[in-house]
């Protein structure tokens, strides 16, 4: 049981390049989330998927797109990377049960945009 996994762990991009961050969970969770963490700050929600087939914007969606590929996988795409997107990106999942919606996080992807 690996929990939430993310690839890659590190990435360096040049301004204008594109890339996709991958996330997978093996806990049979319904909901998945993408957050970013900037230095000295807490995490901020970029996009989330309440259930397979649905996606919604979070607090800071500009410059990103997402795809809920199936119940296990949720990807985050940067179409044209900008230096302001330098950050650590975390994926999370939860069961979306009113009695227990505890979120579990992956190890993060450290992205630098030059």
Partner 1 sequence: GIQVEQSPPDLILQEGANSTLRCNFSDSVNNLQWFHQNPWGQLINLFYIPSGTKQNGRLSATTVATERYSLLYISSSQTTDSGVYFCAVEYGDYKLSFGAGTTVTVRA
**Contact residues for partner 1 (CB under 8 A)?**
31, 33, 40-45, 48, 50, 56, 58-59, 88, 90, 94, 96, 100-105, 107-108, 110
Q: What is the CA radius of gyration of the chain?
A: 13
Residue 28 Cβ, how far from partner 1 at the closest point, in Å? 16
Spell out where the chain has E strands. 4-7, 10-13, 19-25, 31-37, 43-49, 56-57, 65-68, 74-78, 87-94, 104-105, 109-113
Residue 62 Cβ, how far from partner 1 at the closest point, in Å? 16
**For 69-73, which contacts have Cβ atoms below 8 Å and span 24 or more sequence positions?**
71/28, 71/29, 71/30, 72/24, 72/25, 72/26, 73/22, 73/23, 73/24
| Complex with partner 1: residue 75 or 104, whichever CB lies closer | 104
| Complex with partner 1: residue 57 or 80, whichever CB lies closer | 57
Residue 26 Cβ, how far from partner 1 at the closest point, in Å? 16
| Complex with partner 1: residue 48 or 74, whichever CB lies closer | 48
| Complex with partner 1: residue 26 or 102, whichever CB lies closer | 102
């Amino acid at each position: 049981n690996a929990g939430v996994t993310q690839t890659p762990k590190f990435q360096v991009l040049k301004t204008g390049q594109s890339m996709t961050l991958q996330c997978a969970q093996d806990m049979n969770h319904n909901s998945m989330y993408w957050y970013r963490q900037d230095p000295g700050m807490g995490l901020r929600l970029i996009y989330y998927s309440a259930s397979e087939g649905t996606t919604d914007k979070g607090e800071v969606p500009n410059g990103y797109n997402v795809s809920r590929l199936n119940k296990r996988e949720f990807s985050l795409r940067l179409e044209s990377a900008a230096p302001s997107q330098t950050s650590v990106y975390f994926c999370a999942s939860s069961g979306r049960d009113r009695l227990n919606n505890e979120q579990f996080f992956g190890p993060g992807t450290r992205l630098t945009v030059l």
